Structure 1
Amino acid sequence: MGQRIRAVIVLKNSILKPKHIVYLLSFMLFLPAVSLAQTRETETLKVCYDQWAPMTIFPSDESSDRGVVIDMLEQIYTAKGYTLEYYEVPLARGLAMVAEGLCDMLPEYLFANNLEKDFVYANAATFAYSTAFVVRRSDPWQYNGIESIKGKRIATGPGWDYSSMSIDYQNYIDDPKNANLVEVIAGYDDVVDRVFRMIKENRVDLYADNDLVLQHVLNRLNLNNELKIVRPGLEKKLVERPIFSKKIPVSKRQELIKIWNEGRMLAKGKIEDMLLKKYNVAFEQ
């Protein structure tokens, strides 16, 4: 605004040639555009996220849905004037981009005090997820601690860490003695789908994950007649929080975290239930 006022004063008190007036008028018209561009840049939130449906989803030709957590994130930040710019990447790449400052944040990451190095956690969790297992519908198996999984063929992904939910479970699948019973399924974004089909085909016996993820995949693949969810799952809940890059100036990062913390508290209850219902999942009572 100050630049525009100074330009007007020069016009009023100087004797200018017509071409000078044209230049000044052009400059005055240019200033608001520069100011608007700067404002938009400061209000863009760069979000890296990986595929973990129904919480975070890569949009496709068939659907523009981005998942429960992304929908919530967008509601919270657009209400504060932000435009969200998305980068759909594998988790490891997303973490690296946050560390490098190429992304401002990643909306969900396992909470652990010793992980905070290249990023800062928000205080408010996205969710604290109960885990569960999926098995064939004909299998009467129930989880009763680590002894109950011995002899079972277990599916997991490369480098997946269950230790925050059960140290015993993580130690079991890491133990070389159990390697012939642990099937590590590699892939980009279809690992869980493939695991479900392998259980159906009797190639593995069980798989543990976020209960909401299991519900979503079971419904989407239409396998409710062949497979079932077994509860309770692992001993502790999976707590996930958004992380924010340390490359962001401290004051700006604190503002972004504050917006999330307050917005997440307001989303509890009806908004949260509405978003879960959109994706046809629910927390078990």
Structure 2
Amino acid sequence: MLRLLSFVTFLVGFSLPGVSHAETLKVCYDQWPPMTIFPSEGSPARGVIIDMLDAIFTSEGYELEYFEVPLARGLDMVANGICDMLPENPVSDATGKGFVYANQETFSYTTAFVIRRGDPWRYTGIKSMAGKHVATGPGWDYSSMSADYQNYLDDPENASFVEVVAGYDDVVDRIFNMIKGNRVDLYADNDLVLQYVMKRLNLDDALQIVRPGLEKNLVEKPIFSTKIPPEKRQNLINIWDRGRLSMKGDKEKSLLRKYGITVEQ
């Protein structure tokens, strides 16, 4: 009888993992509210794109494990296979450096600049950057929106006018306060992000968002690690592509409304 009970216990223990254990998708992402957000004890929300990603992959039986890291570190973790994917990265020629893009974009974002209120400056091309101190983050790539702008940031001759602000989860907040404090003059980003941060920090009296932004929209897509076997990686890409297409329309608008934003398509 004891031997029979032990055998039954073994069968139960053996069968349950097959029923309850889903495959894990390891996701690296950076702080870019309201699109991607590091949760806190008082605010568990992870942002529009993470909610979208979660809905798409959990419906296919995956469990998602999140790594909240700065963008540059996240890109390295994907390239090294520590993370399977990163949900939003600007589309550029970087494919082949440890990751490949999905086919379906997350969004195509209009960009804008934030400056001090009352500053008459407007972006009219790279020549309008002369004498202005601009903020950016480590590893941030604007080349898909403006090759000239990215070249300006990368040019060693402009190093004294470019402030690279590193940090864990508050880089954009800090940049806004640096502009307010006259430490830098301007910053370019997704228009939705600028509006969200401006409202959250209550800086309307000190700063303003100005348009036009950079020459092209910011097109972002998920990236998947080349350390994943090709067949498995393609399956993950296919799941994202199908899922993102299925969310066009009401599902997409509902996710955006959750964070108090809308996107002009």
TM-score of the two chains, using structure 2 as the length reference: 0.91
Change (3 A) 1:284 1:143: farther
Q: Where is the helix percentage greater, Structure 1 or Structure 2?
A: 1
Report what 2:229 is aligned to: 249
Question: Runs of 5+ in structure 1 lacking a partner?
Answer: 1-17
> Which stretch of structure 1 is more off in the superposition, 102-111 or 112-121?
112-121
- Cα pair 2:89 2:223 within 8 Å, conserved: yes
Counterpart in the other structure of 2:82: 102
Change (3 A) 1:158 1:20: closer
Map 1:36-115 onto structure 2 (within 5 A): 36=19, 40-42=21-23, 44-115=24-95
Residues 268, 26 of structure 1: alpha-carbon distance in 2 compared, 3 angstrom cutoff: same
Amino acid across the alignment from 1:32: S
Give matches, 1:234-273, under 5 Å: 234-273=214-253
Using the alignment, how far apart are the partners of 1:257 and 1:158 within structure 2?
Answer: 27
In structure 1, the residue matched to 2:184 is: 204
Deviates more, 1:135-144 or 1:218-227: 135-144
Task: Give CA deviations for 1:206-254 in whole Å, capped at 9, x if unaligned.
Answer: 1111111111110110112221111110001222111122333333222
Mapped to 2, the partners of 1:177 and 1:147 lie a distance apart of 14
Of 25, 37, 50, the residue aligned with 2:8 is 25
Taking the TM superposition and a 5 Å limit, the aligned residue runs for 1:87-166 are 87-166=67-146
1:20–1:263 distance in 2 versus 1, CA, 3 Å: same
Judging changes above 3 Å, is the alpha-carbon distance between structure 1 residues 76 and 159 closer, same or farther for their aligned structure 2 residues? closer
Tell me the alpha carbon deviations over residues 127-150 of structure 1, each in whole angstroms, 9 at most, x when there is no partner.
122211001221222211112221
**Partners of 1:50 and 1:172 in 2: CA distance:** 24
1:19 to partner: Cα distance: 4.0
1: CA distance, partners of 2:156 / 2:6: 75
State the aligned residue count: 265
**C-alpha distance in structure 2 between counterparts of 1:31 and 1:153, whole Å:** 62
For residues 186 and 34 of structure 1, do their structure 2 counterparts lie closer, same or farther at Cα, with a shift above 3 Å needed?
closer
When structure 1 is superposed on structure 2, of 156-165 and 59-68 the one drifting more is: 156-165
Whether the aligned pair in 2 keeps the contact of 1:215 and 1:281 (CA below 8 Å) is no
1:35 to 6, 11, 18: 18
Of all paired residues, the percent bearing the same amino acid is: 63
DSSP 3-state at the match of 2:113: strand
Equivalent-residue separation in structure 2 for 1:117 and 1:177 (angstroms) = 27
Gaps in structure 2 of 5+ consecutive residues: none
Residue number among 194, 199, 203 corresponding to 1:214 in the alignment: 194
Q: 1:138 to 1:164 in 2, by over 3 A?
A: same
Which stretch shows the higher mean deviation, 239-248 or 61-70? 239-248
Answer yes or no: is the 8 Å Cα contact 2:70–2:167 preserved in 1: no
Alignment-mate amino acid for residue 223 of structure 1: L
Question: Runs of at least 4 residues of structure 1 off by over 4 A?
Answer: none
- The verdict on how the C-alpha distance between 1:204 and 1:29 changes in structure 2, with shifts beyond 3 A counting, is closer
* Structure with max Cα Rg: 1
